[in-house]
């Protein structure tokens, strides 16, 4: 990292010379919260190189798109947006355009960019994010295009601590506790583009958590592809529940959320800790993907429907107020309508607060992309709509049932559509709007739910 800091300092002068003024940088993020956290590091490095943060591409001298590879639609959208940047480059040749992130770990995508988008000068992957100052330095010193998606010969993750971070405004801050994934679900490209699991040392996580609290953030979001498997490979054994306990013991007025959790690694020890804690939210994102054991086996999820439901039942026994969110894939290759009905019945039994639902998107290089997929997309769309309609009914019923209850709310920002109203997030994860002229963002308040809507509450200060 000392090597990279030298380039950070050198790039300040080179950027100023290239642009002729204080350079403005814009980083656009596609995809998950992990990508958001990466973009905060990228922007942190750019600001340390003397850049100012631009509000959009038209204002920027440096444009970086941090890409997502999880679904085909994300790739189609990205290529369309990159094509539109050509006009900006023609109007101002000094602009520097770069692409980074998960898509840049796919060889076929990089080949397409090399061939079709010659105005993209900088391409780098997730594993070399910390070397961005050096890569940018090569361009500023005259190289026409710099491409680096892997460090050395492999795609393994390396932990680069103490990178500068330009955190976003608001009350929540992300804290990455691990990188990569070892699960190799048959539909998922993440292990191929993000590499194998690597956990940060707990001391570094605690150090960063203290910094976040000292900066005034009121909610810490712990991130990892599978936070429940945190600790594997560390010299001194520690699991996710033990790490959570260390963080919740820190002094300060804050609360904790985490994502994403894999059901096969979710333990009763973790559930017990959440139930006993006064800082960990009783709101768990636990992706099930399917309610059919046959489909779960084809997905390589390594748990059964009954195991998943046993975790749900145990958590509800320990925390009657607990809420769950989930991810669902509809139309996995070979899935039948009978399989789909098992997913539907599971959702009706769990009664998720909300679901993130997707029609199966084949990812080249994954096992599922090679599986026979006879069900037409139109039929899968019907299944998806049926699932969404069922979830809407559950949400409306459960949210109305909350009317009259008093909840702990973290205020986030003034409501844009109602003067004098605030928007906050309840401990259970729901958004609530309520009149509060004299309440500041970042305050914990008690709010009584007066109206439960499909996707949010309305309330009044209790």
Does residue 156 lie in a domain region?
Answer: no
Q: What is the pTM of this model?
A: 0.94
192 shares a domain with 89: no
- Residue of 138, 59, 60, 68 lying closest to 100 (CA atoms): 68
Supply the CATH number for residue 242's domain: 3.80.30.20
What's the whole-number mean pLDDT along residues 380-398? 98
Give the model confidence (pLDDT) of 174-208 as tens digits.
999 999 999 999 999 999 998 899 999 999 999 99
CA–CA distances in Å: residue 171 to residues 74, 176, 205, 214, 418: 28, 17, 19, 12, 20
For residue 260, is the peptide bond before it cis, meaning its omega torsion is within 30 degrees of 0? yes
Q: Is the dihedral of CA 229, 232, 234, 236 positive or negative?
A: positive
142 shares a domain with 69: yes
Which range of residues forms the domain containing residue 210? 172-401
- Residue of 353, 405, 416, 360 lying closest to 384 (CA atoms): 360
Does residue 126 lie in a domain region?
Answer: yes
Whole-number Å distance between alpha carbons of 34 and 40: 10
239 shares a domain with 326: yes
Does residue 162 lie in a domain region?
Answer: no
Point out which residues pair with 29 in neighbouring strands.
Answer: 66
Whole-number Å distance between alpha carbons of 419 and 439: 13
Does residue 388 lie in a domain region?
Answer: yes
Give the model confidence (pLDDT) of 11-36 as tens digits.
999 999 999 999 999 999 998 899 99
Point out which residues pair with 100 in neighbouring strands.
Answer: 66, 124
Does residue 155 lie in a domain region?
Answer: no
Supply the CATH number for residue 66's domain: 3.40.50.12160
The model's confidence at residue 151, banded by pLDDT at 50, 70 and 90, is: low
- Residue of 346, 306, 315 lying closest to 328 (CA atoms): 346
Tell me, what's the pLDDT at 152? 47
User: Above 80 in pLDDT, residue 450?
Assistant: yes
Supply the CATH number for residue 413's domain: 2.40.50.140
316 shares a domain with 243: yes
192 shares a domain with 327: yes
CB 157 within 8 A of CB 34: no
Whole-number Å distance between alpha carbons of 84 and 94: 17
pLDDT-above-70 percentage for the chain: 98
29 shares a domain with 87: yes
342 phi-psi bin (left φ>0, alpha ψ -120 to 50, beta other)? alpha
327 shares a domain with 185: yes
Point out which residues pair with 255 in neighbouring strands.
Answer: 219
Place of tokens 């899935």: 335
Does residue 49 lie in a domain region?
Answer: yes
452 shares a domain with 362: no
222 shares a domain with 94: no
Distance spanning both ends of the chain, measured CA to CA: 50
Tell me, what's the pLDDT at 156? 62
Spatial neighbors of 340 by CB under 8 A, at least 6 apart, are 292, 330, 331, 383, 387
Give the model confidence (pLDDT) of 206-246 as tens digits.
999 999 999 999 999 999 999 999 998 899 999 999 999 99
Point out which residues pair with 272 in neighbouring strands.
Answer: none
The structural domain count of the chain equals 3
């Amino acid at each position: 990292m000392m090597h990279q800091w030298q380039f950070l300092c050198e790039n300040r002068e080179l950027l100023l010379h290239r642009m002729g003024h204080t350079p403005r940088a814009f980083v656009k993020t596609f995809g998950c919260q992990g990508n958001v956290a990466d973009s905060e590091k990228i922007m942190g490095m750019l600001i340390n190189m003397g850049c100012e943060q631009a509000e959009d591409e038209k204002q920027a001298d440096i444009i970086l798109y941090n890409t997502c590879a999880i679904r085909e639609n994300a790739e189609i959208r990205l290529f369309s947006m990159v094509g539109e940047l050509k006009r900006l480059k023609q109007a101002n040749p000094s602009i520097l355009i770069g692409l980074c992130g998960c898509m840049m770990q796919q060889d076929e995508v990089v080949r397409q960019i090399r061939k079709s988008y010659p105005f993209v000068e900088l391409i780098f992957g997730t594993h070399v994010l910390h070397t961005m100052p050096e890569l940018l330095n090569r361009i500023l010193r005259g190289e026409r295009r710099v491409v680096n998606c892997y460090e050395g010969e492999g795609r393994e993750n390396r932990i680069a601590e103490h990178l500068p971070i330009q955190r976003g405004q608001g009350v929540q801050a992300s804290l990455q506790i691990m990188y990569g994934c070892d699960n190799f679900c048959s539909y998922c490209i993440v292990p191929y583009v993000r590499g194998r699991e690597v956990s940060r040392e707990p001391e570094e996580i605690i150090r960063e958590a203290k910094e976040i609290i000292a900066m005034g953030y009121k909610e810490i979001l712990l991130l990892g592809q599978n936070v429940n498997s945190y600790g594997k490979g560390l010299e001194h054994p520690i699991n996710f529940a033990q790490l959570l306990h260390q963080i919740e013991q820190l002094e300060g007025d804050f609360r904790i959320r985490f994502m994403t959790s894999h059901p096969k690694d979710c333990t009763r020890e973790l559930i017990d800790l959440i139930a006993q804690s006064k800082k960990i939210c009783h709101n768990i994102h636990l992706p099930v993907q399917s309610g059919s054991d046959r489909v779960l086996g084809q997905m390589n999820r390594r748990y059964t429907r009954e195991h998943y439901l046993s975790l749900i039942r145990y958590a509800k026994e320990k925390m009657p107020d607990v809420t769950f969110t989930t991810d669902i894939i509809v139309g996995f290759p070979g899935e039948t309508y009978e399989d789909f009905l098992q997913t539907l019945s599971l959702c009706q039994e769990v009664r998720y607060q909300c679901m993130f639902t997707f029609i199966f998107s084949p990812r080249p290089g994954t096992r599922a992309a090679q599986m026979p997929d006879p069900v037409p997309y139109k039929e899968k769309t019907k299944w998806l709509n049926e699932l969404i309609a069922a979830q809407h009914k559950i949400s409306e019923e459960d949210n109305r049932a909350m009317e009259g209850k008093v909840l702990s709310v973290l205020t986030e920002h003034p409501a844009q559509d109602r003067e004098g109203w605030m928007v906050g997030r309840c401990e259970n994860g729901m958004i609530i709007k309520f009149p509060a002229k004299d309440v500041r963002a970042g305050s914990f308040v008690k709010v009584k739910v007066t109206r439960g809507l499909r996707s949010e509450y309305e309330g009044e200060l209790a």
